[in-house]
């Protein structure tokens, strides 16, 4: 099967690793040629586009069986690109499966609000819901687990204050009590699951739940202290009311983004219905092992050069 991967960022890099490992061919859609992808196993071709021309996209997607988007953009461009890709796929001979970017929390029950920086994800899902020519699913993963390992062990760049844990300063600033339950998932494990989802002939649902583990911030802190060999990790807590007050001020784009992401776990938006998690795992990717935070931390500790 030939899969179009849209983008070349952290999520895309995992797809470019794992889709060929599962037997898929990969075509990468990108705004500019990436030397790092030259000769990459499983990558058939890089195809350059600015995503503005649907006829050009139809041509670029002509030989693809499915499209997986991995672009990251918190502006209207995110919507415009996805709408163009949706329209292009509809006009191709066989590209009839579509996975939008997003990879967020329980958006089935907690739709992104109009004032949220992530509302564009909901607009794209609406566009997919309004058509019936493409089969599609939004992949829900919770917090990206990769942030709990050192920078050298992941494709994702440091999150700064967006993520509670800072391994550089050996500090963890937990929003809320630290006992709120949420889902977190390794991006590599997610892309392995999607590779199997793409192979499945079973009908997709609008939402697919991919979960590494259910945990809490205090449990993550304990993993870092013990498995991660950082017993001196300094843990502090940030009251949710303070974060909400910061969000209400809307002082800057970054302050809004940071506050939104600090609130996402305590709010329950990353808590998945475990029956749906088990249903999707059994139906679409029963043979994928989803690593826990402890397993991910141990893997990074055992191999300083490993990209988890």
Residues 21 and 126 in one domain: yes
pLDDT, position 23: 98
pLDDT, position 55: 98
Average per-residue pLDDT for the chain: 98
Q: What is the number of other CB atoms lying within 10 angstroms of the CB of residue 252?
A: 9
Q: What is the DSSP string of 13-29?
A: HHHHHHHHHTT-EEEEE
Does residue 241 sit within a domain?
yes
Residues 7 and 125 in one domain: yes
Residues 8 and 51 in one domain: yes
- The band of 180, judged by pLDDT with boundaries at 50, 70 and 90, is very high
Residues 162 and 59 in one domain: no
Q: What's the average model confidence in pLDDT over 142-165?
A: 97
pLDDT, position 164: 98
H-only helix segments in the chain: 10-21, 54-60, 76-91, 119-129, 187-199, 217-226, 240-249, 253-263, 274-284, 293-302
Does residue 253 sit within a domain?
yes
CA distance 178 to 192: 30
Residues 64 and 34 in one domain: yes
Does residue 252 sit within a domain?
yes
- The band of 216, judged by pLDDT with boundaries at 50, 70 and 90, is very high
- pLDDT tens for 65-95 read 999 999 999 999 999 999 999 999 999 999 9
Does residue 273 sit within a domain?
no
How does strand 213-215 pair with strand 143-144?
Answer: unpaired
Residues 123 and 154 in one domain: no
Residues 170 and 129 in one domain: no
Pull the structure tokens for residue 34.
């990436």
Are residues 240 and 217 in contact, defined by beta-carbon separation less than 8 angstroms? no
Residues 129 and 14 in one domain: yes
Q: At what angle do helices 240-249 and 253-263 cross, to 10 degrees?
A: 150
Domain count, the chain: 2
Q: For Cα atoms 273, 279, 280, give the angle at the middle one, nearest 5 degrees.
A: 95
Domain that holds residue 105: 2-136
pLDDT, position 142: 98
Does residue 8 sit within a domain?
yes
Does residue 204 sit within a domain?
no
- pLDDT tens for 96-105 read 999 999 999 9
Residues 225 and 105 in one domain: no
Cβ-based burial of 189 (10 A; exposed 0-12, middle 13-18, buried ≥19): buried
Q: What's the average model confidence in pLDDT over 152-178?
A: 97
Nearest-10 Cα torsion for 2, 7, 13, 19: -20
Backbone CA torsion sign across 174, 11, 137, 260: positive
Q: What's the average model confidence in pLDDT over 114-142?
A: 98
Does residue 190 sit within a domain?
no
Q: For Cα atoms 36, 299, 269, give the angle at the middle one, nearest 5 degrees.
A: 85
Distance of CA 286 to the CA centre of its chain: 20
Report the CATH number at residue 98.
3.40.50.720
Residues 40 and 157 in one domain: no
CA distance 17 to 109: 31
CA distance 82 to 57: 11
pLDDT, position 62: 98
Q: Which residue has the tokens 């697919």?
A: 208
- The band of 171, judged by pLDDT with boundaries at 50, 70 and 90, is very high
Residues 49 and 115 in one domain: yes
pLDDT, position 176: 98
Closest CA to 294 of 210, 192, 211, 225: 225
Q: What's the average model confidence in pLDDT over 173-195?
A: 99
Does residue 278 sit within a domain?
no
Residues 23 and 85 in one domain: yes
- The band of 34, judged by pLDDT with boundaries at 50, 70 and 90, is very high
């Amino acid at each position: 099967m030939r899969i179009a991967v849209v983008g070349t960022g952290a999520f895309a890099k995992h797809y470019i690793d794992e889709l060929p490992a599962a037997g898929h061919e990969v075509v990468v859609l990108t705004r500019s040629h990436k030397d790092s992808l030259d000769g990459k196993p499983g990558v058939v071709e890089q195809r350059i586009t600015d995503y503005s021309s649907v006829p050009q996209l139809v041509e670029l997607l002509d030989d693809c069986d499915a499209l997986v988007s991995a672009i990251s953009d918190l502006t209207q461009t995110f919507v415009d690109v996805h709408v163009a890709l949706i329209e292009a796929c509809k006009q191709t001979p066989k590209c009839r499966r579509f996975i939008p970017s997003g990879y967020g929390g329980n958006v089935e029950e907690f739709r992104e609000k109009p004032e949220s920086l992530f509302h564009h994800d909901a607009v794209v899902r609406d566009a997919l819901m309004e058509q019936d020519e493409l089969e599609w699913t939004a992949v829900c993963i919770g917090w990206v687990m990769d942030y709990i390992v050192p920078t050298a062990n992941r494709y994702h760049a440091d999150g700064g204050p967006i993520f509670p844990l800072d391994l550089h300063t050996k500090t963890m600033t937990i929003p809320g009590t630290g006992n709120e339950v949420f889902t977190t998932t390794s991006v590599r494990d997610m892309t392995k699951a999607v590779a199997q989802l793409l192979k499945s002939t079973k009908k997709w649902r609008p939402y697919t739940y991919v979960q590494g583990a259910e945990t809490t911030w205090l449990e993550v802190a304990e993993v870092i202290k013990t498995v991660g060999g950082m017993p001196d990790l300094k843990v502090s807590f940030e009251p949710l009311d303070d974060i909400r007050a910061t969000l209400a001020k809307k002082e800057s784009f970054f302050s809004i983004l940071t506050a939104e992401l600090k609130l996402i776990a305590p709010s329950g938006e990353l808590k998945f219905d475990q029956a749906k998690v088990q249903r999707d795992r059994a139906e679409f990717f029963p043979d994928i092992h989803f690593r826990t935070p402890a397993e991910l931390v141990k893997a990074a500790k055992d191999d300083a050069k490993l990209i988890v």
